Amino acid sequence: MTESPENNNEKQVNGKKREPVVLSCIDGSRHTSAVCDYAAWIASRTGAPLKLLHNIERGNVPAVADLTGSIGLGSQEELLEELTALEQQRARLMVQQGKLMLQAARERAAMAGVQQVETCQRHDSLAESLIELEESIRVLVLGIRGEEHGDSEQGLGSQLENVVRSLHRPILVVNREFAEPQRIMLAYDGSEAAGKALQMVAESPVFRGVSCHLVFVGEPEKAEALLAEASAQLDAAGLAVTASNLKGNIVEALTAYQQENDIDLTVMGAFSHNRLRDLLMGSVTAKMLLKTRQPVLLLR
């Protein structure tokens, strides 16, 4: 892993531990502006610093060996030198393009009123970069698909599931243009991850003044106690709460409720730790990300 020296961030400032940041992944995809806007919104509401990350995957810059493998034994040294120069030029252009995107995102965040904004450019896989930065992250914000998907609205980004499974920080997955959330839906099932989501909604300044729809999908006997307990915690935090028990398929019930109640953002627990169960049964989280038209804040 390498990181641009001018953007290298020390873990401590004047002997004090740095405040956790809202980390925004900037990659030039169609959702980049919205990712920046949602990250700026969270930073403004929490007072946390905003960090803008542009990550260059190792695989995006081909090795010289890859370029010269089919040249043959009679290749001229001049041709190898030219290929090396082309590779180096491409790498420089990718770095420069990233710096321009970061500068534009910095200016956009500043216009949104964020006071503390820093930029960072790294050369590694995205998951590896984020794992190394994990201790400094308060919330991660990234698009549902990367720039390799172009304008496609199908599927999930190639690295999204890996990032969600690797990181133990709240992750906001952005899938549309920014609209300041007025109504959120907390999908609650009593699990440990759902408990963390409940605690975040109750304690975070991000959700002050926002209407909260607390939703459980399942048997009424189990729902009554869970919804009552969770509602009491949200009420105590001063949130306006609407509790609902839904029936049927979890994903279909949740997405239908979103549409019927004009939900702006969904908060829920992320992938279970049981990989085999996810492979056999399918992940509710992944299906929600594919079907919903609103951003999803995931907690593990």
Instruction: Specify the pTM.
Output: 0.83
Q: What is the pLDDT of residue 214?
A: 98
> What digits encode the pLDDT tens for the residues 219-248?
888 899 999 999 999 999 999 999 999 999
Domains and CATH numbers, the chain: 2-62+92-174 (3.40.50.620), 183-299 (3.40.50.620)
Which amino acid, one-letter code, is at 108? R
Q: Is the pLDDT of residue 167 over 60?
A: yes
Higher pLDDT, residue 147 or 174: 174
Mapped onto helix, strand or coil, the DSSP state of residue 262 is coil
Distances (CA, A) of 59 to 27, 55, 165, 243: 15, 12, 21, 47
Which of 265, 9, 5, 2 is CA-nearest to residue 116?
Answer: 9
Secondary element (H or E) of residue 118: strand 117-123
> What digits encode the pLDDT tens for the residues 84-130?
777 777 778 888 888 999 999 999 999 999 999 999 999 888 999 99
Mapped onto helix, strand or coil, the DSSP state of residue 13 is strand
Q: What is the pLDDT of residue 153?
A: 55
Distances (CA, A) of 172 to 37, 253, 265, 280, 291: 12, 21, 9, 26, 16
Tell me the average pLDDT across 134-141. 96
Q: What is the pLDDT of residue 57?
A: 78
Rounded Cα–Cα distance for residues 262 and 121 (Å)? 37
Partners of residue 267 on adjacent β-strands? 186, 297
> What digits encode the pLDDT tens for the residues 64-97?
444 445 545 455 677 777 777 777 777 788 888 8
Q: What is the pLDDT of residue 234?
A: 97
Q: Is the pLDDT of residue 182 over 50?
A: yes
Tell me the average pLDDT across 288-292. 90
Q: What is the pLDDT of residue 148?
A: 55
Q: What is the pLDDT of residue 105?
A: 95
